[in-house]
Every structure is written in C-alpha cells, then in structure tokens.
Homo-oligomer: A and B are copies of this chain.
Amino acid sequence: MSAAPQLQAVYETVLYGPDLAALAAFYTELFGLSRIEGGPPDLLVACRVPDGGVLLLFDPAAASASGREVPAHGATGPGHVAFRVSPEQLAAWREHLERHGVEIEREVRWSEDLRSIYVRDPAGNSVEFANGDLWA
C-alpha cells in the first residue's frame, strides 16, 4: 500500500442526541464552548473547541435524512468523547460540574499524575476530562 498523505488533526468530532436544545445548552452554557452560527438549528449545533477544532452536535434523525448537501450519517446509543484539560484545571472541572448538579460517574487514576473524570451529557454520551496524554 502506498504511503498516505499527511493528516493534520481531527477537525470535527460528533456527538448525537435527540434533544438538540438540551445537548447544546450542556456544551455551550455548562462547558463554555462558543456556539458557531450557521447550522440549521433543528439539524446541528456547532461548537468551537479552543484548539481550533469543532464539536458538532446532531439530531441523529435529521442527520440521517437523505438529500442533504453532505452525506447522511446518524448514530444512536451512547457515544464517547474525551476533552483534554490542564492538570491544574481538573479539580476546577470537578467542582464546576458538581456545583451545577452533574454527577461524576467515575474517576480513574491511571498513574501518579494522570487521571480522568467521567460524566454523562443529556443524551447519555460518556464525556471524559483527562488531565494529560493517557495514551503516551
């Protein structure tokens, strides 16, 4: 197989949920991601991630409809995403989530310094906060 050209980064990461308004509120109001205007609001909400990437939230039924300008997709059931936070911010996230009534489902200590906390978004997706490169 010939060598692949270069990929720079994951640009769009996608999560799905049937209640798009609730999902959008979770990631914009609670997580503080800025909403990017432009998507049809019954189809998707786009959120800017600080490193230049985008988190796209889709209604899976609308996303799987044929006839859109882009290919159809749309998964159901709980997905997963992990966000990277600085080591000194992980405790601040735990406190922020608990203050706003979001249950910490699990905390995993991978090593002396590396740990993750896990919560659920309103669609049931498993959302992780990792304070370093767990896969190094």
Contacts and interface: CB of A to CB of B under 8 A. Distances in A.
Interface of A: 1-14, 16, 29-33, 36, 38, 46, 48-56, 58, 60, 63-64, 69-86, 89, 92-93, 96, 99-100, 105-106, 108, 116, 118, 120, 125-126, 128, 130, 133-135
B8 A10 contact: no
Contacts of A89: 5-6
B75 A78 contact: yes
A3 to B, nearest CB: 7
Given A4-B30, A50-B8, A135-B54, A69 B108 contact: yes
Nearest to A93: B5
B5 A75 contact: no
Contacts of A1: 29-30, 100
